[in-house]
Structure 1
Amino acid sequence: MRVLVTGASGRLGREVLPRLRDGGFVVRAVSRHPRENSTVEWLAADLATGAGLAEALDGVEAVLHLASSPSRRTHEVDVLGTRRLLVAADRAGVAHLVYVSIVGVDRVPLGYYRHKLAAEQVVAAGPVPWSVLRATQFPEFLEEMLRGASRLGPVIGDPAVLAQPVDAGEVADRLVAMLAAGPSYAIAEFAGPQVLRFDAAVQAWRDARRSHRPLLPVRIPGRLGRALRSGGLTTTVTPTGTRTWADHLADTYGGTGRR
């Protein structure tokens, strides 16, 4: 099966490409700018304009749609770009499109999440047989957030916010399995094995880095805070991944991520 992967240069794309190759798929990767890669066919295409999509989809049987733009032109790329991709995929006779979304897009009032939810709806209403996987946050994202929250010294955040970080490689494994299984016409969720409070995640991060930065508790107000504290970013769906936040910290810093 020839599979087109959008957003192939991102964190999840880098995990998916070798797994697809090893699974016997013929892989065509796309990003906005051309890249050199001896193991996959790499083309340039732009979801925001539609440039290159017809060429990228020529001869493709399935699409793994990872591309997203959280910080700029989000509606243009995530919503309208997904619609452009579906129209082009339908013309090319694509038999299955798998879209990657985020756990909580239907519960957490963030602008980016509203766009991801709208993109899910575009996929479900579109002409191409589909499956959607909502994943929780990657541990690398959580770590980037902690670094940003500690720029002024203490780690600033709401201690009771809940997260359920999931390893990108395990998400990639699930996506390969979904492609092999064919269209489900359903939204599935996938998460890490452990629900963490923000303060516990901070403590493990500090221990792994041998840092003594204190946690400065700041309660997130309003609907957003209530959604994050009540588990809007988590799921009870099983099975889950197996790699924990402590595993990520041990790989990154050595040790266990705990005292």
Structure 2
Amino acid sequence: MTTILVTGGTGTLGRHVTERLRADGHEVRVLSRHAQPYAVDLREGGSGLDEAVAGTDTIVHCATSQRGGDEKAARNLIAAARRAGVGHFVYISIVGVDRVPFGYYKSKLAVERMVEESGLGWTVLRTTQFHDLLLMVLRGMAKLPVLLLPARVKDQPIEVTEVAERLAELAQGAPAGRVDDMGGPEVRTFDSLARAYLKATGRRRAVARIPLRGAAYQAFRDGGHLTPERAVGTGTFDEFLAARFGNAPRR
């Protein structure tokens, strides 16, 4: 049995990783800003972080924020891992961080490079967007009477539990460097995904496709965030919606 620290262990991905590792018999420490006994803000570091890391064999770094701070958090975590002599650092990243000039993606790529240059044994897995994130985005868009979608953009969402299973598998193995990407089973237009959401939730909304400007939008439109050659996921977005909503009344 090994001791594994999961950062962001109460989040969308981290909680599933934690459950899988514990089911496999490992001692798992959950680190987040509010989870006791390892309630730590990675951006601040400090003695609490050293206490959480001390004695761990592997770190699975799932904690992230689109509001910024990922690079500072990773820097603190890597420094603590070095001090503790951690043998394996596993990082979850996103397909296309090296192809799409989007602010959050740039930060994820910078963290990848920190991990690679850390001197620790490391593994990096990139995946496409989770079904849960797509749902959150569409739910926010549907608050308006018209669903405004970026024109000519596709997506390849993946089931988070499948990513968690793969990440747990990697955490239990030897450092593997950059491993093969994971993509969802279908590449679909954002329009078709939005209409699937509206149907599943019983919402009536007009849909408008809006052309946008900028290098990031162009990269998304060109499919820089997709990996059709690595469509290894099995759970589809329609199956995710059916499990979440069943037959919803129209509103």
Distance in 1, matches of 2:5 and 2:116, equals: 19
Normalised to the residue count of structure 1, the TM-score between the two structures is 0.90
Distance in 1, matches of 2:35 and 2:24, equals: 24
Kept in 2, the 8 Å contact 1:66–1:99? The answer is: yes
1:106-125 pair list within 5 angstroms: 106-125=98-117
Aligned residue for 2:45?
50
Distance in 2, matches of 1:149 and 1:246, equals: 18
Of the structure 1 ranges 125-134 and 184-193, higher mean CA displacement relative to structure 2 is found in 184-193
Distance in 1, matches of 2:133 and 2:231, equals: 22
Q: Which letter maps to 2:221? A: R
SS of the aligned residue for 1:246 comes to helix
* Deviation, structure 1 residue 80: 2.1
Cα offsets for 1:211-258 (capped at 9, x unmatched):
3311111112222222111112211343611100001110111159xx
1:137-216 pair list within 5 angstroms: 137-216=129-208
Normalised to the residue count of structure 2, the TM-score between the two structures is 0.93
SS of the aligned residue for 1:127 comes to coil
Please provide the CA RMSD for this pair.
1.6
Distance in 2, matches of 1:224 and 1:46, equals: 30
Kept in 2, the 8 Å contact 1:61–1:94? The answer is: yes
Q: 1:62 aligns with which of 51, 58, 61?
A: 58
Gap regions ≥5 residues in structure 1: 36-41
Kept in 2, the 8 Å contact 1:190–1:237? The answer is: no
SS of the aligned residue for 2:4 comes to strand
Kept in 2, the 8 Å contact 1:32–1:45? The answer is: yes
Gap regions ≥5 residues in structure 2: none
Using the aligned pairs only, state the percent identity: 41
SS of the aligned residue for 1:190 comes to coil
Distance in 2, matches of 1:29 and 1:209, equals: 33
* Deviation, structure 1 residue 152: 2.0
Distance in 2, matches of 1:94 and 1:188, equals: 23
Cα offsets for 1:192-220 (capped at 9, x unmatched):
11111011111211221223311111112
